[in-house]
Chains A and B, each alone.
Chain A
Amino acid sequence: MRVCFGVVLAVAALAAAAPVSAHHAFAVEFDAKNCSDVNGVLTRVSYENPHAYLFMNVKLANGQTQEATFQLSSTSNLRRGGATPAVLNASINKDVIIRGCASRNGESHRYAASFIKLADGTVQRLGQDVEGIFGTKVWR
């Protein structure tokens, strides 16, 4: 299904409402122009506030592994969006793909995550849509 922007805008107009303030500004901490799909084995889920984290072992080209850290949304948003601890923990020690945008602070392998393709194939939302890949672009 290709999304018709006219339809999106019509819905946007219908839903005209308050500006919903994000937890904080994504663009300050992460680079929305530097996002990629990161493949690896999910090793740990840290379900905490103000942000949850996922940890992944990424296999590098030289055969070594590197730990990658992904900052997720708050546990309130995750729980309401279906990303419960049980859902995420079910993919531990399994291959997953996480869409992540790189940190601006110079730390390599630190990202903000927008979604994960879980081991069972489910694509699960994890954070803000800074790239516009879910149909919106939210610069905060």
Chain B
Amino acid sequence: MRTPTALMLAAVTLGAAPAFAQIEDSGERNKTFVEARGNVRPVPLPPGGPAPRMTDGHVDLSGTWFSGPTGRANAWSVVPDERVAEAPIPFTPAAKAKIESMTRAERELGRAQVTCQPLGVPAMFVDNPYPHQISMKPDLFIHLIESNNNWRVVRLPGRHKPAEEQETLYMGDTATRWEGDTFVMETISLDTRPWIQGNGWYKTDQTKITERLRRPSRNYLEYQYTVEDPNTLTAPWTSAWRTFSLSADNEVLTENFCTNNENVEQFMKLAEQEREKQRR
């Protein structure tokens, strides 16, 4: 049996022919794939038994969590991301028009992953490919993310600050409660700079995000969020549940500060090119 690596190396050694020509020329469904170190073959973790509980009896959400079911970084999975079916977002006509008027580069320039701003809520869960570390006590939820080493800390149970003490923050002002085994966080007073998702969906001073976290078994964490905003939505919108899995290798987060950012300059250049095309 010929291996992809052998084929690839054979192509390289042919010299005259461009290396990996079979990749460029083959059809979508019968191509020979490149074997490379770093490729991840997704093997879902087993449930791992019941979720641990804290001293007060509530589910303990602590752990290092990767997006997806493998307990490992999945950025280089050899299997396509499975898009989760979600209801259409009920944008108001004005919000829809505003988002659709943005060029692709302009949408990118609003993403905290591009500008290296704090991701905020809920993007730290939904626009973040890097792992999470949660440390939980009966009265405290500490959420660290590797993406630009952002963090948030909320009390539980927790109430919103009085209106006169509200200030606009990336992580907003969060009230918390338990609904059975589901941990619920309601956040208001959000800084409007980072998108809700990475698609131009913007926040306003009326945006309220309700997040739900549950741990159905030891190895799995699930996350869902609801967005309410009378300025941009005709009705509340709730996401599908997203799956996270416990680090299979007992990893901790690594330093990941975004200090050498060339993306902003690149995307501004592209945005200007796109606007120039529109003007012609």
Contacts and interface: CB of A to CB of B under 8 A. Distances in A.
Nearest to B43: A15
Nearest to A39: B19
B84 A18 contact: yes
A11 interface: yes
B104 A25 contact: yes
A97 B20 CA distance: 11
Interface string B29-55: 111111111111110100000000000
A138 B263 contact: no
Nearest to A14: B44
A138 B68 contact: no
Given A76-B256, A97-B19, A18 B68 contact: yes
B79 A49 contact: no
Interface in B210-232: 223
A51 B261 CA distance: 8
B24 to A, nearest CB: 8
Nearest to A25: B108
A109 interface: no
A132 B243 contact: no
B38 A8 contact: no
Given A29-B266, A48-B260, A121-B9, A22 B129 contact: yes
Nearest to B3: A1
A2 B32 contact: yes
Given A48-B260, A133-B31, A28 B104 contact: yes
B178 interface: no
A48 B198 contact: no
Interface string B255-280: 01111111100110110010000000
A122 interface: yes
A70 interface: no
* Candidate in B34, B74, B108, B128 with the most chain A CB atoms within 10 angstroms: B34
Contacts of B31: 132-133
A1 B7 CA distance: 10
B263 A104 contact: no
B273 to A, nearest CB: 7
Nearest to B11: A37
B166 interface: no
A24 B198 contact: yes
Contact of B69 (A8, A15, A105, A128): A15
19 contacts: A5-B29, A14-B44, A15-B44, A17-B84, A20-B67, A20-B77, A21-B126, A21-B198, A29-B267, A36-B18, A49-B259, A50-B260, A76-B73, A77-B129, A97-B19, A115-B34, A123-B8, A123-B37, A136-B79
